[in-house]
Amino acid sequence: MRKRRIISYLLVVWMAFLLAFPMTTAFASSKVYHVPIHDEVERGLHAFLERAFKEAEDNYAEAIILDIHTPGGFVNAASDIAMLMDESSIRTIAYINKDAHSAGAFLALHADEIYMVPNGTIGAAAVIDSAGNAADLKANSAWLAQMKAAAETSGRDPKYALAMADTSMDLPEFRAGGDNLLTLSASEALEVGYSEGTVSNFQELLAATELKGSDIVPVDPTFSEKLARFITNPIIVPILLSIASLGLVMELYSPGFGVPGIMGLSSLGLFFFGHMVAGFAGYETLLIFIAGLALVIAEFFVPGGIVGILGGVLVLLSLLLAGADMSQMIMSIFIAFIVAIIGMVILMKFFGKKMHVFNKLVLKDATTTEEGYVSNINRTDLLGKVGKSITPLRPAGTMQLGNERIDIVSEGSYIDAGKNVEIIKVEGSRIVVRQTDKEMEE
């Protein structure tokens, strides 16, 4: 009986444990990831959001709230982020916490739901180039198609998305058409179905989306990711490469290794660091660059030029592979190349600089007369002396001067043997004579 009682107790405890475990799981708080999309939309932001979405998926998050406040950004970066949002199975909510313009509006349309603060705006999504001008027809047509598809996918009327990017869409009731793009206020967005609601703050948003009581997991970019976003910005990349090229060019004109060289290598180091953190470049790209740099340095010690050319090709290849966009990298490298040429011209033309790096490669020593080096005795003491030719001069031959036989050359004409000749010029070992009527010296 006692054994049965003990076994019964154990069974009760075991059943209670089995029941308690799933209940604990069932009543656990759901996780909501709060992710900021602030400032400019660029490729570095994609790397940060990729990490945030992965963390949310790994931790079975119920929703991801994208806190949007951006003036826009780059189309290619926005397209990649939109694809990341579309592929996620987690509920995504766009919380427009002031402005979602251009690429920001495009991203908001890819969310499952949109909520805005009372003074928030969404729209103004025309494509412009790096100079601030309207993009060409091809790029504009592709962007309009993407804006329309984003609206249709989320079940919204696409005409408003098109009006955000195309001034030919006439919506006078919302100040759009003519020269104006559509930008909707919070109340207007709610009216046309481009918003699910207007909320004053984040807590109201949680209540409106039935996520109140959830564990809020804030995801902020790390210092490395912030730095990577800055470095990989298409405006910063050519500046960074220009500093690198200018620093290395200045180093070629400086004795030893100093500040310009450190500046150039540091800029290249920052370039690769930012692109590796952002996920655009891997260690293999860095190894290609190091191998190319080593070959360029080896060219200073190995004659031929092939090693240096191969090294230069590897360096350029590594920069192209590290970049987020091939066409932008080509333009950045071209700008850096122009800056390097201008720097070389200024250093040589205006400062009279010479490449000190070649001092060790080119023999600078010379055996000059000033240094006491004489290749042969310069017989200037013979000038004006008269002797007798002992061989015909055609024009070279030999003359007798006192007890000395001297190799000579005539001024150009033939001189027969036995004629009196006068020494008129001495150029090292070359002694020039002409026939004369002067008497031979004893």
Q: Which residue has the higher pLDDT, 34 or 297?
A: 34
Query: Is residue 151 a contact partner of residue 158, using CB atoms and an 8 Å limit?
Result: yes
d(CA 314, CA 308): 10
pLDDT at 354: 58
Give the number of other CB atoms < 10 A from CB of residue 294: 13
Residue 113, pLDDT score: 96
Q: Convert the pLDDT of each residue in 161-195 to its tens digit.
A: 999 999 889 999 999 988 899 999 999 999 999 99
Would you state the pLDDT for residue 22?
45
* Interval 374-390: pLDDT, tens: 555 677 778 888 888 89
On whether the pTM is more than 0.75, the answer is: no
Read off the pLDDT of residues 11-63 as tens digits, 9 standing for 90 and up. Answer: 555 565 544 444 433 344 689 999 999 988 888 888 899 999 999 999 999 99
DSSP, res 167: T
Q: State yes or no: pLDDT of 3 exceeds 60.
A: no
% of the chain at pLDDT higher than 90: 33
Closest CA to 311 of 326, 325, 300: 300
> Distance between CA atoms of 94 and 92, rounded to whole angstroms?
7
Token digits of residue 206: 């949680």
pLDDT score at 21 = 45
| Dist CA 72 CA 99 (whole Å) | 9
Instruction: Return the amino acid letter for 306.
Output: I
Q: Please say if the pLDDT value at position 279 is more than 80.
A: no
Given a cut of 60, is residue 355 above it in pLDDT? Answer: no
Helix (H) or strand (E) holding 82: helix 75-87
- Tokens 């402005």 belong to 99
The two tokens of residue 344 are 């070389």
Which residues are CB-neighbours of 9 under 8 A, at least 6 positions away?
Answer: none
The pLDDT of residue 402 is: 81
Stretch 236-250: mean pLDDT: 86
More confident residue, 197 or 133: 197
Q: Are strands 121-123 and 91-101 parallel, antiparallel or unpaired?
A: parallel
Q: How many CA atoms lie within 13 A of 394 on its CB side?
A: 3
> Residue 263 in contact with residue 247, Cβ under 8 Å?
yes
pLDDT averaged over every residue in the chain: 83
Q: What local confidence, expressed as pLDDT, does residue 129 receive?
A: 59
Residue 192, SS3 per DSSP: coil
Other beta carbons within 10 Å of 168: 8
